[in-house]
Amino acid sequence: MGSGRWEKQKLTTKKKVKDIARELIALYAKRKAEPGFAFTPDSYLQTELEASFVYEDTPDQAKSTEDVKKDMESPSPMDRLVCGDVGFGKTEIAIRAAHKAVCDSKQVAVLVPTTILAHQHYRTFRKRLEGFPVNVDYINRFKSKKEQKITLDKLAEAKVDILIGTHRLVGKDVKFKDLGLLIIDEEQKFGVAVKDKLKQLRVNVDTLTLTATPIPRTLHFSLMGARDLSIINTPPPNRQPVETRLHTFDKDLIKDAIQYEVGRGGQVFFVHHRVRDIYELADMIEELANVSVAVAHGQMEGADLEKVMVQFMEGDFDVLVATSIIESGLDIPNANTIIINNAHMFGLSDLHQMRGRVGRSNAKAYCYLMSPALSSLTDDAKMRLRTLEEYADLGSGFQVAMKDLDIRGAGNLLGGEQSGFISEIGFEMYHKILDETIRELKDEEFKGVLNEHRIIESRDAVIDTDYNLVIPDYYIKNVPERLSLYTAISKLETEVALKEFQENLKDRFGVLPDVFTVLLETVRLKWKAMKLGLEKILIRGDKMKLYFPSDPNAFVYQSDEFGKVLNYVMVNPNKFNVKQTNSQLVITSLGVDDIYEALGLLSEMERSLIA
Amino acid sequence: MKTADLLAIWAQHPKLTNLQTDQDLTLNNNLGSVTSMLIAGYFNFLKGTHLVIANSKDEALYLFTDLVNILGPNKVHFLPSSYIKGINHPQEDANEVKQRTETISKLKNGALSGIMVSYHDAVYEKIADLKTVKKYVFEVTKGEQVDIEFITDLLEECKFERDDFVYEPGYFAVRGGIVDIFSYAHEYPVRIVLDGDTVESIRYFNPETQLSVSERNEIKLTPNIKDTELFKTYEPIFEYFNTDTLLWISDEDIFKQQIAKYWKEVRKSDESDSSTELIISSQQLSARLNNYRRITWGFSSDKKEQLDLSTSAQPTFQKNFDLILDELKQWHLKGYDLFVFAENPKQIDRLYQIIEDTGSKIHFEPVYSGLTAGFVDHSLKKVFYTDHQIFGRYFRYKDKRRFSKNAAITLKELQGLHPGDFVVHIDHGIGKFAGMHKMEMNGKVHEVVRLVYLNNDLLIVPINSLHKISKFTGKEGSAAEASQIGIR
């Protein structure tokens, strides 16, 4: 095919993806064969823990919990990835799994990428498991050597059930008495050395990995057999929307907002876009609202930064003036107001992330977006701010929109460093390539291992006809709407979806014109072509040509089904004519007057498969 | 137990007799949701029209939610303000205007039997003269003969705007024999399907999916009553409530002070733009209020007779179940009956489970309905607690769904392709989307997508290969670069 740079880039990407995926599938297969610990079914305590969750489980959350528990109860070691956006309740699933492990007297390691997160998870776990017979502890560099030793000694004696920490957890001196579950948060953020250690660990220990990377459901399907995956796509139902106000910079408003929040015992995030004048701003706020203020930004020493964050978490300050560093995973339930200064300087996903820092408890949460007068902003900036104001809810619509814009942390799906080439080829294309690669691997290299039945179906078929291929103007005039419908048509995959699509169109635009119906029939034609293992169908006038793959090694040629089709074609010489050019087999049929005849002929061929 | 049984219990309430006078009253010790229960109970006894004026929209929505839960959705209406940011920022919100219109259209010169829940800001705002409104309301019935031109002319006369699709009140769209209209008086927009000149079907549709949700036999289309070009005269809302109406007012003092403050500022700034004509004057408000019997709570300095409701609020237990059970036991020993409200039956089961696990014997009556805030009623000797306070959950009020054109369109914009957008073709790499094009081939029309690559090379993608292209989304803000297209 092409000789361009693209082809090369695609091949390199594919090769890299393939290497990572191969390793992953191999590991997966190995684990399935390895004996592990089978946890016992839920105890009464487990039921009570799950019932005491303050929010209602979303269906996805309930499903994920079930998935995890089933994995734990099975004898082979678990390796499940739970994907869900910020605030969708991944931590709750981790807590439930941890508790289940502890109920069977096993220890749990919770590995997180930063010291702050370690601290935060420790608080969350402890609070959530309050009143349950579980000992939670943490280890990070805020603890003195002596304190660390005490914790580690307790761990070795199994006096600590759940230990939370950073990469320190995989250190040599950390010895669990009986480790039963490993929980890893945002694995892609760990270095290679840690990952290698994790790889050894997880061969026979149940592992649960959490990530905020959005993964489309379609990809979920192809990942089956490479990684066990649970997706949480829906936000918690009774979580309240964050009241979002767009406003020009206004000292009175800032003062009111801060004093209101502090007055009800809460804390405030104040986000500023640059470090240069952040201290001046902090002084201004301190004076303005008469509150205690701390500053945090990315140019601070790591240890200092962590200290400020932890102090804020402990409630030592009323207001945290910070740069956008607060976007990453920080969870302070007591902070329920966020003020974002110069909001127009941030991207939509950053703003969404930052706003997600508040509204995580029962108190009503507020987000103030400060920007110059709207009239002075670019259209793009205006749209971003409006979108955010519009979607106060973590509604599903917004999630869909965000997914398109978002590649944050993308690539940890396979646990490798992939974000580099994702930004080169785009997020969706990466998913497409990943999908293709895994299917190839499963077909070619892991055929026996995964025990999947091979089918002759081709991955795609080209349908080239000389029929009209258009939605007429008089039916749908709006051009973007036509485009989005064409796109939807090309993505249809099942008869049910096609029928529904047709019904919906009839509802919105009235009875479909014949031309349009023919267009939809070509979709059915394509499905049939794929089922028969065809590569291409060409229709010119009343002549239809069916092309089998040009690659002589294609699986279809080795299959029984192919023999059946060929046999059927041979015994019906009045309808078909078979010709071989080079290595490619082409069947020609004449007198195909319209699409319905073409469909009829293919249906007959399809029936011969079953015979 | 159902809420109807609850009303029966409430009918026995000793304080209800205290209400049965012509006196203005001020409620004391009205904690938790007792105010909503009292309003519901008294309405059930008295019938007629009740106007509830809460302090804020939030308070109003909680009262509204409680009243709907107790009395059902048909008797209770919600009247919001058109301005989401308050009367000081007269920026209209189409959804609020729609709900306001929807509610007002139910008022037929005070003949409403039911409860109208509103709040300070919404009452300050005047409404269009209903007689003129009626002139612009028109009805379409299934099977009726209508000319499509006639409908569109009428809609334009009523200041409806024409668009390709309808997402927001005030818009209409025509596609062949289908007319989509988002009238101001209904929750959903309506789709009228014509067969020739006959109305074949009328259905509500969801603006987000643009798909039908339910069938109707007829529909009344109402224009924007805030449109000052259509409607010249505006009247205080009280015009539509005859003097038999009972007013329930939260923080009456603040209610009066705020409007006085508003007018003082308007006079000071010397800005008498059109929006101020839509607001009731301070004197008007005070004068009008005096026409009605009022029952108030909160800040109210008027000398009124006091009515002590003798309730106490449900304490917060922070999920300490021992405390909860202890407390419930205490009430039981004192001879109080226990009721626990929960929207989700699972929460009741959970409470039963906890009681059973701890081996205590506590009997309570579950009420499968939501309630904003629990309370203990000492005159009735009954405890009404809520599951969300026991378990520390968040209770969300019922709010009508909001549809916004901006939201729908931004979503489309984010997802859709626009000329100039970068796209990736799985076989050819990154190019720029250059729109759609119709090509003629042997007298047949193919609509195709065009992509421009480096050196202005053009790639034609047939519509049945569109699954091969996708919008390029790299890191936000980073620019893409068109690749060189390969040579076949």
Identity of the residue in B208, B436, B473 whose CB atom sits nearest the CB atom of A405: B473
- The domain boundary, picked from A197, A232, A267, lies at A232
Does the CB of A474 have a partner CB in chain B at under 8 Å? yes
The whole-number pLDDT of residue A409 equals 39
Domain ranges of chain B: 3-128+236-308, 137-221, 311-390, 416-488
Share of chain B above pLDDT 90, in %: 20
Return residues 191-220 of B near A (CB < 8 Å).
191, 193, 205, 208, 210-212
pLDDT surpasses 50 at A412: no
Give yes or no: residues A179 and A52 share one domain: yes
Please indicate, yes or no, whether residues A89 and A25 belong to a single structural domain of this protein.
Answer: yes
In a domain, A418, yes or no: no
For A511-570, the pLDDT digits (tens) are 999 999 999 999 999 999 988 888 899 999 889 999 988 887 777 787 888 888 888 888
Chain A residues 397-416 with CB within 8 Å of chain B: 397, 400-401, 404-407
Give the Cα separation of B238 and B104 in Å (integer).
Answer: 12
Within this chain, do residues A264 and A174 fall inside the same structural domain, yes or no? no
Which CATH superfamily groups domain B3-128+236-308? P-loop containing nucleotide triphosphate hydrolases (3.40.50.300)
Residues 370..409 of B with a Cβ closer than 8 Å to A: which?
A: 391-396, 404, 406-407
Rounded distance between C-alpha atoms, residue B86 and residue B99, angstroms:
16
Of A1, A424, A464, the CB nearest to B486: A1
Residues A210 and A275 occupy one common structural domain:
no
CATH of the domain at A601: 3.90.1150.50
Mean pLDDT for chain A overall: 82
Residue B274 has a pLDDT of 62
Question: What are B227-263's pLDDT values in tens digits?
Answer: 777 787 888 888 888 888 899 999 988 988 888 888 8
Q: Does A5 touch chain B (CB under 8 A)?
A: yes
**Average pLDDT for residues A69-74, to the nearest whole number?**
93
∠ Cα A366 A88 A106 (to 5°): 130
Query: Which of B57, B347, B396, B463 to mutate: most A Cβ within 10 Å?
Result: B463
Residues A471, A333: one domain?
A: no
A504/B428 Cβ within 8 A: no
| Residues spanned by the domain of A65 | 5-232
Check A10 against B473: CB less than 8 A apart.
no
Question: What separation, in Å, do the N-terminal and C-terminal C-alpha atoms of chain B show?
Answer: 75
Query: Residue A302 pLDDT > 80, yes or no?
Result: no
- If asked whether residues A214 and A285 sit together in one domain, one would say no
Question: 3.40.50.2020, 3.40.50.1220, 3.90.1170.50, 2.40.10.170: which CATH number matches B416-488?
Answer: 2.40.10.170
Residue A257: is its pLDDT beyond 80?
A: yes
Tell me, yes or no, whether A294 and A214 share the same domain. no
Domain boundary pick from A213, A232, A251: A232
Domain end marker among A375, A393, A411: A393
List the B178-181 sheet strands across, edge first: B161-162, B171-175, B178-181, B190-195, B198-206, B211-216
- Shared-domain flag, residues A184 and A328: no
Which fold is adopted by the domain B137-221? Penicillin-binding protein 1b fold (3.30.2060)
Q: A55–B393: do the CB atoms touch at under 8 Å?
A: yes
Asked if pLDDT for residue A216 goes beyond 60, the answer is no
Q: How many domains does chain A have?
A: 3
In contact, A602 and A525? CB cutoff 8 Å: yes
The confidence band for A611, taking pLDDT boundaries of 50, 70 and 90, is low
- What's residue B250's pLDDT? 92
> Which pLDDT score is estimated for A161?
95
Predicted interface score ipTM higher than 0.85 = no
For residue range A183-194, list pLDDT tens digits in order: 998 776 777 788
Contacts of A549 (CB under 8 A, 6+ apart): A458, A533, A535, A556, A557, A584
Q: How far apart are CA B416 and CA B471, in angstroms?
A: 8
> Do A17 and A84 reside in the same domain of the chain?
yes
Name the amino acid, one letter, at B337.
Answer: D
Euclidean distance between CA atoms A219 and A226, whole angstroms: 11
Of A4, A463, A475, the CB nearest to B486: A4
Q: Is the pLDDT of residue A107 over 80?
A: yes
Q: Kindly state whether residue A450 falls inside one of the protein's structural domains.
A: no
3-class DSSP assignment, residue A585: strand
What would the pLDDT profile of B435-461 be if each residue is shown by its tens digit?
Answer: 889 888 778 888 999 998 888 888 899
In this predicted structure, the answer to whether residue A405 has a pLDDT above a threshold of 50 is no
Is A154 among the domain residues?
yes
| Residue A445 within a domain | no
pLDDT band at B172 (very low <50, low <70, confident <90, very high): very high
A59 touches chain B (CB under 8 A): no
Taking an 8 Å cut-off on Cβ atoms, the answer to whether A510 and B193 are in contact is yes
Residue A204 confidence (pLDDT): 79
Same-domain status, A247 and A226:
no
Contact yes or no for B470 and A432 at CB 8 A: yes
Q: What does the angle CA B230 – CA B234 – CA B236 come to, to the nearest 5 degrees? A: 155
Residues of chain B with C-beta less than 8 angstroms from the C-beta of A383: 410, 413
State whether residue A466 sits within 8 Å of chain B by CB: yes
**Domain at A328, CATH number:** 3.40.50.300
Residue to substitute from A400, A423, A470, A478, interface B, most B β-carbons within 10 A: A470
Given a cut of 70, whether residue B410 has pLDDT beyond it is no
Q: Answer whether residue A430 is part of any domain.
A: no
Mean pLDDT of A239-244: 76
Nearest CA-CA distance, residue B407 and chain A, Å: 6
B363 burial via Cβ count (<10 Å: 0-12, 13-18, 19+): exposed
Judge contact between A429 and B470, C-beta under 8 A: yes
Q: Residue A373 domain-assigned?
A: yes
pLDDT at A125 over 90: yes
Does A256 lie in the same domain as A224? no
Parallel, antiparallel, or unpaired for β A107-111 and A162-165? parallel
